[in-house]
């Protein structure tokens, strides 16, 4: 049973539904694997196996057919999302000892669908910075080379997947926080369309920037978790009702795009030449299946100014009170982002909203010609973990701590679902992800296209691995 961690999530759920294994078997296997490897990577700093086993035992009192689509599959939750009775810190000293009183809507939804929560995954302070470190739990290390960053902010989730401490994982994404760590860790992460996954409302009730989403080791496993995440919840006014689509079936459908666009930089960002070469070569593999592949991208030239403004506004709305009461406990990047937001004028905000709308409509028009858009997920390979963020790339120096995320944050701005899957490896044997983008609410075709490319590239079984230090 200890070797169960090597199985795929779809295999584990099939075994749970057949009765060949129990949810308790799964928890035992994960607890053993975490004991063996987490001290080397620091991905899951908070464990809640007592809670998980109590939930598993309650679930096992039901007939197998009534245990939900996940049937008792364990799922870790990112430490930005509350789980009742569990230490939930948001990676901040401000909340270092906080115990959540109630669970987020997302958690209760997953549990209703047969998910069992057993751990909280590490994240940067308040999810900011795309490198998973904080003053509560320390750094999460990349298992491909433990001297490198796992990216973020869903870095703990990605590392748990890559090392076999999770079959699937919850993450969230504003400026690439599902996609970047998937790229750095050789796993899969998808940012869905706004509204697909319900979550508890924060200070901004109509936010479409931060999105909850699934992560896994391969596309099918991700689709399995996504099926359990979707659906309307009263507490989230933007949440969409499930329309009967099975995204796992969609991933397996065999749908093939007719025409895809590929871009090395979306026309807006520098990209490391080795990364660009790996991604473009991977994207060209669609041609082997008689798919038309053309170099093109939508016009996103306002993306930097737009995303910087809207991100800053979200920080000002969500964290102004913390700046006033706990400034000395916030990392400098967060202070800068809140203060930038507080300094915005109505003219700044209205301009950014107009830019976003214009980019959205141009992107919709673009997808009238192309089924999918492919480009790099991250513009650099995994960088030294001590480096707080990427300061330059291919001769371009960055001004802020989020400039290097533009190739993913631009896609956030236009509300498109996007997935990162492994594209290949650098000469230093570090994983590189390719970002596959579909039009808004196009997750079914996105997953089918990603599954097709995953099969062509034959990189779908590169994890789980044992943590390594260099190669």
Q: Give the span between the Cα atoms of 240 and 247, in whole angstroms.
A: 15
Strand pairing category for 168-173 and 188-191: unpaired
Domains observed in the chain: 2-457 (3.90.1300.10)
First and final C-alpha spacing in the chain: 30
Pick the catalytic residue: 92, 121, 149, 153? 153
User: Is 177 in the active site?
Assistant: yes
Q: Give the span between the Cα atoms of 180 and 209, in whole angstroms.
A: 16
Q: Give the span between the Cα atoms of 151 and 165, in whole angstroms.
A: 18
Pick the catalytic residue: 78, 340, 445, 451? 78
Longest dimension (CA), the chain: 61
The radius of gyration computed from the CA coordinates of the chain, to the nearest angstrom, equals 20
Q: Coil, strand or helix: which one is 299?
A: coil
The DSSP symbol for 105 reads: H
Q: What angle do CA 353, 357, 360 make, to 5 degrees?
A: 135
User: Is 153 in the active site?
Assistant: yes
Strand pairing category for 292-295 and 259-262: parallel
- Lookup: tokens for 381: 């390979």
CB neighbours of residue 99 within 10 Å: 13
Pick the catalytic residue: 7, 92, 149, 177? 177
Helices (H) and strands (E) in the chain, counts: 14, 15
The answer to whether 167 and 221 are in contact (CB under 8 A) is yes
The answer to whether 389 and 131 are in contact (CB under 8 A) is yes
C-alpha to C-alpha distances, 455 to 128, 289, 440, nearest whole angstrom: 33, 11, 24
User: Is 314 in the active site?
Assistant: no
Residue with tokens 């509350």: 82
Per-residue pLDDT of the chain in tens (471 residues, 90 and over written 9): 779 999 999 999 999 999 999 999 999 999 999 999 999 999 999 999 999 999 999 999 999 999 999 999 999 999 999 999 999 999 999 999 999 999 999 999 999 999 999 999 999 999 999 999 999 999 999 999 999 999 999 999 999 999 999 999 999 999 999 999 999 999 999 999 999 999 999 988 999 999 999 999 999 999 999 999 999 999 999 999 999 999 999 999 999 999 999 999 999 999 999 999 999 999 999 999 999 999 999 999 999 999 999 999 999 999 999 999 999 999 999 999 999 999 999 999 999 999 999 999 999 999 999 999 999 999 999 999 999 999 999 999 999 999 999 999 999 999 999 999 999 999 999 999 999 999 999 999 999 999 999 999 998 779 999 999 875
Q: Give the span between the Cα atoms of 398 and 152, in whole angstroms.
A: 18
- Lookup: tokens for 4: 């169960």
């Amino acid at each position: 049973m200890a070797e169960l961690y090597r199985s795929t999530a779809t295999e584990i759920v099939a075994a749970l539904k057949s009765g060949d294994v129990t949810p308790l078997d799964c928890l035992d296997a994960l607890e053993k694997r975490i004991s063996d490897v987490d001290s080397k990577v620091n991905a899951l700093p908070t464990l809640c196996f007592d809670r998980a086993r109590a939930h598993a035992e309650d679930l096992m009192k039901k007939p197998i057919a009534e245990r939900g689509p996940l049937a008792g599959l364990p799922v870790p939750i990112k430490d930005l999302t509350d789980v009742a009775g569990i230490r939930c810190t948001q990676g901040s000293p401000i909340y270092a000892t906080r115990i959540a009183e109630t669970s987020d809507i997302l958690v209760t939804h997953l549990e209703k669908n047969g998910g069992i929560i057993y751990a909280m995954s590490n994240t940067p302070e308040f999810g900011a910075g795309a490198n998973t470190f904080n003053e509560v739990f320390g750094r999460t290390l990349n298992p491909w080379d433990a001297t490198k960053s796992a990216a973020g902010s869903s870095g703990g989730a990605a590392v748990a997947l890559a090392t076999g401490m999770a079959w699937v994982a919850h993450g969230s994404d504003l400026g690439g926080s599902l996609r970047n760590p998937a790229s750095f860790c050789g796993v899969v992460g998808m940012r869905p369309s706004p509204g697909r996954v319900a979550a508890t409302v924060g200070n901004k009730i109509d936010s479409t920037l931060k999105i909850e989403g699934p992560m896994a080791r391969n596309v099918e496993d991700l689709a399995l978790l996504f099926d359990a995440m979707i659906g309307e919840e009263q507490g989230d006014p933007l949440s969409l009702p499930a329309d009967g689509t099975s995204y796992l079936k969609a991933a397996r459908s065999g749908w093939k795009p007719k025409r895809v666009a590929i871009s090395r930089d979306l026309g807006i960002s520098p990209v490391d030449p080795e990364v660009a070469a790996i991604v473009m070569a991977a994207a060209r593999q669609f041609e082997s299946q008689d798919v038309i592949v053309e170099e093109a991208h939508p016009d996103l030239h306002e993306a930097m100014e737009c995303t910087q403004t809207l991100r800053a506004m979200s920080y000002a709305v969500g964290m102004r009170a913390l700046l006033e009461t706990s400034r000395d406990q916030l990392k400098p990047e967060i202070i800068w982002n809140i203060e930038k937001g507080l300094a915005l004028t109505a003219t700044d905000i209205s301009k950014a909203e107009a830019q976003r709308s214009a980019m959205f409509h141009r992107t919709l028009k673009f997808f009238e010609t192309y089924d999918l858009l492919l480009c790099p997920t991250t513009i650099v390979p995994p960088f030294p973990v001590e480096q707080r963020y990427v300061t330059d790339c291919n001769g371009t120096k960055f001004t802020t701590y989020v400039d290097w995320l533009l190739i993913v944050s631009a896609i956030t701005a236009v509300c498109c679902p996007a997935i990162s899957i492994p594209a290949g490896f650098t000469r230093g044997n570090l994983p590189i992800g390719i970002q596959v983008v579909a039009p808004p609410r196009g997750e079914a075709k996105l997953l089918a296209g990603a599954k097709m490319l995953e099969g062509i590239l034959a990189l779908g079984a590169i994890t789980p691995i044992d943590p390594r230090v260099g190669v």
